């Protein structure tokens, strides 16, 4: 088994999960031996675009309840704060006080992993690393969390990041490695934003650059955004050899908007780490799908995965969608596992209820 912690980060764009669904997820994580859950949905405005505004009392109560439920389950609880483009202005007394108030809230509710996220923001700025290091190190000194994790603006070597957020300043990652407090971990998605595989060589090279083992933010099976929301990423994990855990400070899975269906692939990753070279993706999928739903639905999902994952909604005729909805409708009445919930998610996806528009993607 890997030496790196394995868990879930709710870090996608689109409609966040419900509070009740998160609480049920914690039971699943406990049952199957996952280590942590990080609350960081892009759709929570008080963690991103409205981070300067006071958190409503009801939201704080929900976070406190999540933290308590994690403690009772033996799961470490994390929160991801994205102080949107805070580094564009001086880190003065006013900005420090705003950030202090958020960190004190997280300290009150009991956060084990405090994640400061500066991803998907403007990056082509002079001394970007220096500005961010100042904020992160100051925040790390205030947080009572056992682990502080920073997500840089350039969290991969993927050229798409420079296309979207400007050219990465020369020596940016190296400057982070030298300037960040050694107790701060750093999120990394791999050679690409959505990497299909990881090698020990790549991870070791990143560790050398950052001066610490990367904390993997694994963007599979996430399906957010205007394009990816049209697909259900159900296939088992591959390209994650068990020995890569020795090169990681942690491994966080960023799941689909469909919370129940996402459990299937998460279980296959757990099996990949546990079984090492003996890992069989096909067998792992059937076992995971049956554990989350039931054997009958697992077999049907195995048969339909190429349709859902390769062709997607836009590649399916209306008659095909209607036929699949008819096939899965009987599972809505099931009392076995989370079968009914998984069937509901699948049918809602076929009906287009999980569509993430470009406008929503850009405003979160």
Statement to judge: residues 233 and 174 lie in one domain? yes
**Which residue among 244, 268, 284 closes a domain?**
284
Statement to judge: residues 271 and 345 lie in one domain? no
Q: Quick check: is 363 in a domain?
A: no
Could you please report the per-residue DSSP string of 175-238? HHHHHS-TTEEEEE-BSSTT-S---HHHHHHHHHHHTS-EEEEE--S---HHHHTTS---SPP-
Helix (H, G, I), strand (E, B) or coil at 90: coil
CB 251 within 8 A of CB 218: yes
Statement to judge: residues 210 and 118 lie in one domain? yes
Return the residue matching tokens 């406990």. 30
CB 8 within 8 A of CB 29: yes
Distance CA 155, CA 172 (A): 11
Distance CA 79, CA 55 (A): 14
CB 24 within 8 A of CB 93: no
| Domain with 334 in it | 292-350
Statement to judge: residues 227 and 105 lie in one domain? yes
Q: Quick check: is 110 in a domain?
A: yes
Statement to judge: residues 300 and 276 lie in one domain? no
User: First and final CA of the chain: distance in angstroms?
Assistant: 37
**Which residue among 266, 284, 302 closes a domain?**
284
Under the phi-then-psi rule, with left for phi > 0, alpha for psi from -120 to 50, and beta for the rest, what region is 155? alpha
Q: Quick check: is 344 in a domain?
A: yes
CB 236 within 8 A of CB 282: yes
Q: What is the pLDDT of residue 74?
A: 97
Q: What is the pLDDT of residue 244?
A: 95
Distance CA 313, CA 335 (A): 28
Q: Quick check: is 249 in a domain?
A: yes
Q: What is the pLDDT of residue 15?
A: 85
Q: What is the pLDDT of residue 4?
A: 85
Statement to judge: residues 228 and 320 lie in one domain? no
Q: Quick check: is 1 in a domain?
A: no
**Which residue among 268, 284, 300 closes a domain?**
284
Distance CA 357, CA 230 (A): 11
CB 229 within 8 A of CB 14: yes
Statement to judge: residues 52 and 174 lie in one domain? yes
CB 66 within 8 A of CB 93: no
We report the CATH number of the domain holding residue 105 as: 3.20.20.80
Q: What is the pLDDT of residue 82?
A: 95
The pTM score is 0.96
Statement to judge: residues 313 and 186 lie in one domain? no
Statement to judge: residues 117 and 224 lie in one domain? yes
CB 223 within 8 A of CB 232: yes
Length of the chain: 364
Statement to judge: residues 270 and 315 lie in one domain? no
Q: Quick check: is 355 in a domain?
A: no
Low-confidence spans in the chain with pLDDT less than 50: 1
Q: Quick check: is 339 in a domain?
A: yes
Q: Quick check: is 141 in a domain?
A: yes
Number of domains forming the structure of the chain: 2
Statement to judge: residues 161 and 303 lie in one domain? no
Statement to judge: residues 189 and 59 lie in one domain? yes
């Amino acid at each position: 088994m890997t030496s790196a912690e394995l868990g879930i980060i709710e870090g996608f764009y689109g409609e966040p999960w419900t509070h009740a669904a998160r609480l049920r997820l914690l039971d699943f994580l406990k049952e199957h031996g996952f280590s942590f859950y990080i609350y960081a949905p892009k759709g929570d405005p008080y963690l991103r675009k409205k981070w300067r505004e006071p958190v409503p009392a009801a939201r704080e109560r929900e976070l406190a309840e999540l933290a308590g439920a994690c403690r009772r389950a033996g799961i470490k609880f994390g929160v991801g704060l994205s102080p949107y483009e805070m580094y564009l202005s001086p880190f003065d007394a006013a900005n420090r006080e705003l950030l202090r108030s958020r960190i004190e809230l997280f300290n009150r509710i009991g956060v084990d992993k405090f994640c400061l996220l500066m991803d998907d923001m403007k990056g082509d700025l002079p001394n970007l690393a220096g500005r961010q290091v100042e904020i992160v190190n100051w925040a790390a000194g205030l947080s009572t969390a056992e682990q502080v994790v920073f997500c840089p603006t350039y969290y991969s070597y993927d050229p798409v990041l420079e296309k979207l957020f400007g050219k990465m300043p020369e020596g940016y990652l190296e400057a982070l490695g030298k300037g960040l407090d050694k107790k701060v971990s750093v999120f990394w998605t791999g050679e690409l934003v959505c990497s299909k595989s990881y090698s020990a060589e790549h991870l070791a090279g990143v560790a050398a650059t950052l001066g610490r083992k990367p904390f993997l933010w694994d963007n599979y099976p996430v399906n957010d955004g205007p394009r990816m929301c049209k697909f259900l990423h159900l296939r088992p994990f591959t390209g994650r050899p068990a020995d890569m855990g020795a090169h990681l400070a942690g491994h966080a899975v960023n799941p689909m908007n469909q919370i129940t269906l996402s459990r299937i692939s998460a279980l296959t990753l757990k099996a990949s780490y546990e079984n090492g070279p003996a890992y069989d993706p096909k067998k792992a999928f059937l076992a995971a799908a049956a554990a989350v739903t039931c054997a009958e639905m697992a077999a049907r999902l195995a048969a339909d995965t190429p349709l859902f994952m390769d062709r997607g909604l836009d590649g399916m005729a209306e008659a095909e969608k209607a036929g699949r909805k008819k096939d899965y409708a009987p599972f809505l009445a099931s009392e076995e596992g989370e079968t009914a919930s998984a069937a509901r998610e699948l049918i809602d996806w076929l009906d287009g209820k999980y569509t993430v528009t470009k406008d929503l993607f850009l405003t979160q």
